Structure 1
Amino acid sequence: MIQALPTKFAEARVFVPDVFEDDRGFFKETWSDPKYAEAGLDLRFAQDSCSWSTRNVIRGLHYDFRMAKLVQCLKGRIWDAIVDLRRNSPTYLQWQGFLLTDRNHKQLFVPAGFGHGFLALDDEVVVHYKNSVPYDPANEGAVWWRNAKIGVEWPLVGEPRLSAKDAAVPEEFLP
Protein backbone atom coordinates (compact mmCIF):
# COMPACT_ATOMS: atom_id res chain seq x y z
CA MET A 1 0.00 0.00 0.00
CA ILE A 2 1.33 3.40 -0.95
CA GLN A 3 1.18 6.08 1.70
CA ALA A 4 -0.04 9.52 0.52
CA LEU A 5 0.93 12.44 2.76
CA PRO A 6 -0.58 15.93 2.44
CA THR A 7 1.37 19.11 1.82
CA LYS A 8 0.29 22.71 2.36
CA PHE A 9 -1.06 22.61 -1.22
CA ALA A 10 -4.24 20.63 -1.89
CA GLU A 11 -2.92 19.37 -5.23
CA ALA A 12 0.63 18.41 -4.16
CA ARG A 13 1.38 15.30 -2.14
CA VAL A 14 4.26 13.20 -0.88
CA PHE A 15 4.02 9.50 -1.64
CA VAL A 16 5.92 6.75 0.14
CA PRO A 17 5.83 3.37 -1.60
CA ASP A 18 6.06 0.05 0.17
CA VAL A 19 9.71 -0.78 0.79
CA PHE A 20 10.84 -4.32 1.51
CA GLU A 21 14.18 -4.34 3.35
CA ASP A 22 16.39 -7.12 4.61
CA ASP A 23 20.11 -7.72 5.13
CA ARG A 24 20.69 -7.59 1.33
CA GLY A 25 19.19 -4.12 0.88
CA PHE A 26 15.71 -3.14 -0.24
CA PHE A 27 13.16 -3.49 -3.02
CA LYS A 28 10.40 -1.05 -3.93
CA GLU A 29 8.08 -0.31 -6.82
CA THR A 30 8.70 3.29 -7.91
CA TRP A 31 5.50 3.41 -9.97
CA SER A 32 2.41 1.23 -10.44
CA ASP A 33 -0.63 2.66 -12.27
CA PRO A 34 -3.26 0.86 -10.17
CA LYS A 35 -1.51 1.35 -6.81
CA TYR A 36 -0.90 5.07 -7.29
CA ALA A 37 -4.43 5.58 -8.64
CA GLU A 38 -5.76 3.94 -5.47
CA ALA A 39 -3.55 6.32 -3.44
CA GLY A 40 -5.04 9.33 -5.27
CA LEU A 41 -2.63 9.89 -8.17
CA ASP A 42 -4.38 8.77 -11.35
CA LEU A 43 -2.13 10.26 -14.00
CA ARG A 44 -0.50 9.04 -17.18
CA PHE A 45 3.17 9.88 -17.47
CA ALA A 46 4.75 10.58 -20.86
CA GLN A 47 8.46 10.79 -20.05
CA ASP A 48 10.99 9.74 -17.43
CA SER A 49 14.13 11.81 -16.85
CA CYS A 50 17.12 11.50 -14.55
CA SER A 51 19.74 13.99 -13.34
CA TRP A 52 23.08 13.56 -11.60
CA SER A 53 24.35 16.42 -9.43
CA THR A 54 27.06 17.22 -6.92
CA ARG A 55 26.87 19.03 -3.58
CA ASN A 56 25.44 22.58 -3.68
CA VAL A 57 24.04 22.23 -7.19
CA ILE A 58 20.71 24.02 -7.38
CA ARG A 59 18.45 23.05 -10.27
CA GLY A 60 15.49 25.37 -10.69
CA LEU A 61 13.13 26.87 -9.98
CA HIS A 62 11.78 25.52 -13.27
CA TYR A 63 8.22 25.37 -14.52
CA ASP A 64 6.17 24.22 -17.48
CA PHE A 65 2.52 25.04 -16.87
CA ARG A 66 1.45 21.91 -18.82
CA MET A 67 3.60 19.50 -16.81
CA ALA A 68 3.09 17.63 -13.55
CA LYS A 69 6.03 15.68 -12.10
CA LEU A 70 6.69 12.88 -9.66
CA VAL A 71 10.18 13.44 -8.23
CA GLN A 72 12.32 11.08 -6.16
CA CYS A 73 15.94 10.91 -5.07
CA LEU A 74 17.56 7.60 -6.02
CA LYS A 75 21.02 8.35 -4.60
CA GLY A 76 21.98 10.81 -1.87
CA ARG A 77 19.84 13.57 -0.45
CA ILE A 78 18.12 16.62 -1.88
CA TRP A 79 16.15 19.47 -0.43
CA ASP A 80 13.30 19.88 -2.88
CA ALA A 81 11.19 23.05 -3.16
CA ILE A 82 7.92 23.75 -4.93
CA VAL A 83 6.20 27.10 -5.41
CA ASP A 84 2.66 27.78 -6.59
CA LEU A 85 2.93 29.92 -9.75
CA ARG A 86 -0.77 29.84 -10.65
CA ARG A 87 -1.77 33.54 -10.60
CA ASN A 88 -5.42 32.87 -9.69
CA SER A 89 -4.59 30.47 -6.86
CA PRO A 90 -5.12 31.41 -3.19
CA THR A 91 -1.62 30.01 -2.53
CA TYR A 92 0.09 31.98 -5.35
CA LEU A 93 3.83 32.42 -4.62
CA GLN A 94 3.73 30.23 -1.51
CA TRP A 95 6.39 27.55 -1.29
CA GLN A 96 7.19 24.40 0.66
CA GLY A 97 10.39 22.38 1.00
CA PHE A 98 10.88 18.64 1.42
CA LEU A 99 13.81 16.37 2.22
CA LEU A 100 13.94 13.54 -0.33
CA THR A 101 16.58 10.86 0.14
CA ASP A 102 17.53 7.44 -1.15
CA ARG A 103 16.67 6.10 2.34
CA ASN A 104 13.35 7.82 3.14
CA HIS A 105 11.92 6.77 -0.26
CA LYS A 106 9.66 9.84 -0.44
CA GLN A 107 8.32 10.90 -3.83
CA LEU A 108 7.04 14.44 -4.34
CA PHE A 109 4.12 15.04 -6.69
CA VAL A 110 4.52 18.49 -8.24
CA PRO A 111 1.26 19.60 -9.90
CA ALA A 112 1.13 21.47 -13.19
CA GLY A 113 1.39 25.20 -12.52
CA PHE A 114 4.08 24.85 -9.86
CA GLY A 115 7.74 25.78 -10.02
CA HIS A 116 10.17 23.12 -8.88
CA GLY A 117 13.80 23.05 -7.88
CA PHE A 118 16.20 21.22 -5.62
CA LEU A 119 19.49 21.61 -3.79
CA ALA A 120 21.89 18.65 -3.81
CA LEU A 121 22.98 17.99 -0.22
CA ASP A 122 25.56 15.28 -0.98
CA ASP A 123 28.59 14.83 -3.24
CA GLU A 124 26.63 12.50 -5.53
CA VAL A 125 22.90 12.87 -6.07
CA VAL A 126 20.68 11.10 -8.61
CA VAL A 127 17.15 12.40 -9.08
CA HIS A 128 14.42 10.71 -11.11
CA TYR A 129 11.43 12.56 -12.59
CA LYS A 130 8.26 11.19 -14.14
CA ASN A 131 6.75 13.90 -16.36
CA SER A 132 3.12 14.08 -17.45
CA VAL A 133 4.07 15.58 -20.84
CA PRO A 134 7.27 15.36 -22.89
CA TYR A 135 9.87 18.03 -22.18
CA ASP A 136 9.64 20.95 -24.59
CA PRO A 137 12.10 23.83 -24.11
CA ALA A 138 9.60 26.22 -25.74
CA ASN A 139 7.27 25.69 -22.74
CA GLU A 140 9.88 25.72 -19.97
CA GLY A 141 10.48 28.77 -17.82
CA ALA A 142 12.42 29.58 -14.68
CA VAL A 143 12.16 31.78 -11.63
CA TRP A 144 15.37 32.86 -9.91
CA TRP A 145 16.12 30.50 -7.03
CA ARG A 146 16.47 33.47 -4.59
CA ASN A 147 13.46 35.47 -5.82
CA ALA A 148 12.61 37.80 -2.91
CA LYS A 149 8.87 37.75 -3.64
CA ILE A 150 8.84 33.99 -3.05
CA GLY A 151 11.48 33.74 -0.31
CA VAL A 152 12.44 30.07 -0.49
CA GLU A 153 14.74 29.34 2.47
CA TRP A 154 17.35 27.05 0.94
CA PRO A 155 19.49 25.09 3.46
CA LEU A 156 22.61 25.96 1.48
CA VAL A 157 26.02 25.70 3.13
CA GLY A 158 28.63 27.29 0.88
CA GLU A 159 28.31 28.71 -2.59
CA PRO A 160 25.55 27.52 -4.94
CA ARG A 161 26.41 25.86 -8.23
CA LEU A 162 24.01 26.94 -10.98
CA SER A 163 23.74 26.25 -14.67
CA ALA A 164 24.43 29.26 -16.91
CA LYS A 165 20.73 29.24 -17.83
CA ASP A 166 19.58 29.34 -14.17
CA ALA A 167 22.15 32.00 -13.25
CA ALA A 168 20.83 34.24 -16.06
CA VAL A 169 17.20 34.26 -14.81
CA PRO A 170 16.24 37.84 -13.83
CA GLU A 171 16.05 38.14 -10.04
CA GLU A 172 12.55 39.65 -9.89
CA PHE A 173 10.92 37.84 -12.84
CA LEU A 174 7.61 36.08 -12.15
CA PRO A 175 5.56 34.34 -14.87
Structure 2
Amino acid sequence: MIIVEKTLLDGVYLVKPSVHEDSRGNFYETYNKKEYVNAGLCTDFVQDDISKSYKGVLKGMHGDSGTFKLVQCVYGSVYAVILNCDENSVNFGKWQSFILSDENRYQLYIPPMYGNGYYVLSDVAVYSYKQSTYYGDYNQFTYKYNDSRFKIKWPADASIISERDS
Protein backbone atom coordinates (compact mmCIF):
# COMPACT_ATOMS: atom_id res chain seq x y z
CA MET A 1 0.00 0.00 0.00
CA ILE A 2 1.18 3.52 -0.76
CA ILE A 3 0.36 6.86 0.79
CA VAL A 4 0.09 9.74 -1.69
CA GLU A 5 0.33 13.32 -0.46
CA LYS A 6 -0.25 16.52 -2.42
CA THR A 7 2.65 18.94 -2.43
CA LEU A 8 2.64 22.73 -2.82
CA LEU A 9 3.04 22.21 -6.60
CA ASP A 10 0.04 21.37 -8.80
CA GLY A 11 0.25 17.78 -10.05
CA VAL A 12 3.37 16.89 -8.02
CA TYR A 13 2.85 14.21 -5.37
CA LEU A 14 4.96 12.77 -2.58
CA VAL A 15 4.58 8.99 -2.53
CA LYS A 16 5.35 6.96 0.58
CA PRO A 17 5.53 3.21 -0.05
CA SER A 18 4.75 0.83 2.78
CA VAL A 19 7.78 -1.01 4.16
CA HIS A 20 7.89 -4.44 5.71
CA GLU A 21 10.69 -4.69 8.29
CA ASP A 22 11.88 -7.50 10.49
CA SER A 23 15.14 -8.75 12.00
CA ARG A 24 16.47 -9.68 8.54
CA GLY A 25 16.06 -6.18 7.06
CA ASN A 26 13.26 -4.70 5.00
CA PHE A 27 11.26 -5.06 1.81
CA TYR A 28 9.16 -2.57 -0.13
CA GLU A 29 7.71 -2.29 -3.62
CA THR A 30 9.17 0.55 -5.64
CA TYR A 31 6.27 0.40 -8.09
CA ASN A 32 3.01 -1.49 -8.42
CA LYS A 33 0.87 -0.20 -11.29
CA LYS A 34 -2.42 -1.26 -9.66
CA GLU A 35 -1.59 0.69 -6.46
CA TYR A 36 -0.61 3.83 -8.36
CA VAL A 37 -3.71 3.72 -10.58
CA ASN A 38 -5.90 3.27 -7.48
CA ALA A 39 -4.21 6.37 -6.03
CA GLY A 40 -5.02 8.36 -9.20
CA LEU A 41 -1.49 8.27 -10.62
CA CYS A 42 -2.33 6.65 -13.95
CA THR A 43 0.88 7.07 -15.94
CA ASP A 44 2.16 4.35 -18.26
CA PHE A 45 5.91 4.27 -17.58
CA VAL A 46 8.14 3.00 -20.40
CA GLN A 47 11.74 3.61 -19.31
CA ASP A 48 13.77 3.35 -16.10
CA ASP A 49 17.10 5.09 -15.55
CA ILE A 50 19.61 5.09 -12.69
CA SER A 51 22.16 7.79 -11.82
CA LYS A 52 24.99 7.23 -9.33
CA SER A 53 26.54 10.43 -7.94
CA TYR A 54 28.92 11.50 -5.20
CA LYS A 55 28.64 13.93 -2.28
CA GLY A 56 28.49 17.55 -3.45
CA VAL A 57 27.15 16.76 -6.93
CA LEU A 58 24.32 19.03 -8.04
CA LYS A 59 22.16 17.98 -11.01
CA GLY A 60 19.37 19.86 -12.72
CA MET A 61 17.03 21.62 -13.30
CA HIS A 62 15.90 19.39 -16.20
CA GLY A 63 12.52 18.49 -17.62
CA ASP A 64 10.44 18.48 -20.79
CA SER A 65 6.92 19.13 -22.04
CA GLY A 66 5.71 15.53 -22.27
CA THR A 67 7.28 13.27 -19.65
CA PHE A 68 5.87 12.17 -16.33
CA LYS A 69 8.51 10.92 -13.88
CA LEU A 70 8.57 8.91 -10.70
CA VAL A 71 11.88 9.55 -8.94
CA GLN A 72 13.47 8.23 -5.78
CA CYS A 73 16.84 7.84 -4.08
CA VAL A 74 17.36 4.10 -3.62
CA TYR A 75 20.75 4.46 -1.93
CA GLY A 76 22.08 7.38 0.11
CA SER A 77 20.28 10.72 0.34
CA VAL A 78 19.60 13.74 -1.82
CA TYR A 79 18.04 17.16 -1.44
CA ALA A 80 15.58 17.13 -4.36
CA VAL A 81 14.05 20.28 -5.85
CA ILE A 82 11.04 20.35 -8.15
CA LEU A 83 10.50 23.59 -10.11
CA ASN A 84 7.51 24.75 -12.15
CA CYS A 85 9.10 25.53 -15.53
CA ASP A 86 5.90 26.34 -17.44
CA GLU A 87 6.51 29.94 -18.51
CA ASN A 88 2.78 30.26 -19.34
CA SER A 89 1.73 29.32 -15.81
CA VAL A 90 0.98 31.82 -13.05
CA ASN A 91 3.05 29.46 -10.86
CA PHE A 92 6.15 29.62 -13.08
CA GLY A 93 9.22 29.56 -10.86
CA LYS A 94 7.47 28.10 -7.82
CA TRP A 95 9.54 25.31 -6.28
CA GLN A 96 9.58 22.89 -3.39
CA SER A 97 12.36 20.80 -1.85
CA PHE A 98 12.31 17.29 -0.39
CA ILE A 99 14.77 14.93 1.24
CA LEU A 100 14.72 11.60 -0.59
CA SER A 101 16.72 8.74 0.89
CA ASP A 102 17.06 5.00 1.20
CA GLU A 103 15.83 5.41 4.76
CA ASN A 104 12.55 7.27 4.13
CA ARG A 105 12.01 5.63 0.68
CA TYR A 106 9.94 8.62 -0.50
CA GLN A 107 9.20 9.06 -4.17
CA LEU A 108 8.14 12.10 -6.18
CA TYR A 109 5.59 11.88 -8.96
CA ILE A 110 6.39 14.73 -11.36
CA PRO A 111 4.27 15.83 -14.34
CA PRO A 112 5.59 17.43 -17.55
CA MET A 113 6.82 21.06 -17.43
CA TYR A 114 8.47 20.62 -14.05
CA GLY A 115 12.22 20.68 -13.62
CA ASN A 116 13.84 18.08 -11.45
CA GLY A 117 17.19 18.63 -9.75
CA TYR A 118 19.04 17.35 -6.74
CA TYR A 119 22.07 17.84 -4.52
CA VAL A 120 23.80 14.73 -3.12
CA LEU A 121 23.96 14.80 0.69
CA SER A 122 25.51 11.37 1.35
CA ASP A 123 28.91 10.06 0.24
CA VAL A 124 27.21 8.21 -2.64
CA ALA A 125 23.62 8.37 -3.90
CA VAL A 126 21.76 6.27 -6.43
CA TYR A 127 18.81 8.15 -7.96
CA SER A 128 16.15 6.30 -9.95
CA TYR A 129 13.94 7.76 -12.69
CA LYS A 130 10.84 6.01 -14.02
CA GLN A 131 9.66 7.86 -17.16
CA SER A 132 6.52 7.90 -19.31
CA THR A 133 8.44 8.58 -22.56
CA TYR A 134 11.66 7.35 -24.06
CA TYR A 135 14.64 9.61 -23.57
CA GLY A 136 14.88 11.97 -26.53
CA ASP A 137 11.19 11.89 -27.49
CA TYR A 138 10.92 15.49 -26.26
CA ASN A 139 13.46 18.29 -26.23
CA GLN A 140 14.63 18.82 -22.68
CA PHE A 141 14.79 22.21 -21.07
CA THR A 142 17.44 23.15 -18.52
CA TYR A 143 17.42 26.01 -16.05
CA LYS A 144 20.49 26.91 -14.07
CA TYR A 145 20.38 25.70 -10.48
CA ASN A 146 21.16 29.23 -9.30
CA ASP A 147 18.88 31.18 -11.67
CA SER A 148 18.16 34.35 -9.71
CA ARG A 149 14.47 34.33 -10.73
CA PHE A 150 13.78 31.25 -8.63
CA LYS A 151 15.85 31.84 -5.48
CA ILE A 152 16.22 28.11 -4.87
CA LYS A 153 17.82 27.44 -1.50
CA TRP A 154 20.31 24.60 -1.80
CA PRO A 155 21.80 23.01 1.36
CA ALA A 156 25.38 23.84 0.28
CA ASP A 157 27.30 25.29 -2.63
CA ALA A 158 27.65 22.99 -5.60
CA SER A 159 31.13 21.51 -5.51
CA ILE A 160 30.67 19.20 -8.51
CA ILE A 161 28.47 20.32 -11.39
CA SER A 162 28.36 19.49 -15.10
CA GLU A 163 28.91 22.08 -17.81
CA ARG A 164 25.26 21.62 -18.83
CA ASP A 165 24.05 22.56 -15.36
CA SER A 166 26.43 25.40 -14.56
Same fold (TM over 0.5): yes
2:36 and 2:23 map into 1 onto residues whose CA distance is 28
1:77 and 1:98 map into 2 onto residues whose CA distance is 10
The answer for the alignment partner of 2:165 in structure 1 is 166
Q: Secondary structure at the residue paired with 1:166?
A: coil
1:71 aligns with 2:66: no
Identity score, percent: 34
The answer for the alignment partner of 2:132 in structure 1 is 132
Change (3 A) 1:105 1:138: closer
Amino acid at match of 1:83: L
The answer for the alignment partner of 1:39 in structure 2 is 39
Q: How far has the Cα of 1:137 moved from its partner? A: 7.9
Q: How far has the Cα of 1:57 moved from its partner? A: 0.3
Q: Secondary structure at the residue paired with 1:119?
A: strand
Q: How far has the Cα of 1:18 moved from its partner? A: 1.2
1:70 and 1:149 map into 2 onto residues whose CA distance is 26
Q: Secondary structure at the residue paired with 1:88?
A: coil
Q: How far has the Cα of 1:90 moved from its partner? A: 2.5
Higher strand share: 2
Count of residue correspondences? 166
Q: How far has the Cα of 1:159 moved from its partner? A: 4.4
Which segments of 5 or more consecutive residues in structure 2 lack a partner in the other structure?
A: none
Which segments of 5 or more consecutive residues in structure 1 lack a partner in the other structure?
A: 168-175
Superposition pairs of residues 76-91 of structure 1, within 5 angstroms: 76-91=76-91
Amino acid at match of 2:26: F
TM-score normalised according to structure 1 size: 0.91
2:5 and 2:90 map into 1 onto residues whose CA distance is 21
Q: How far has the Cα of 1:138 moved from its partner? A: 6.3
Amino acid at match of 1:134: Y
Q: Secondary structure at the residue paired with 1:70?
A: strand
The answer for the alignment partner of 1:121 in structure 2 is 121
Amino acid at match of 1:166: D
When structure 1 is superposed on structure 2, of 115-124 and 138-147 the one drifting more is: 138-147
Q: Secondary structure at the residue paired with 1:35?
A: helix
Amino acid at match of 1:71: V
Change (3 A) 1:16 1:138: closer
Amino acid at match of 1:9: L
Q: Secondary structure at the residue paired with 2:49?
A: strand
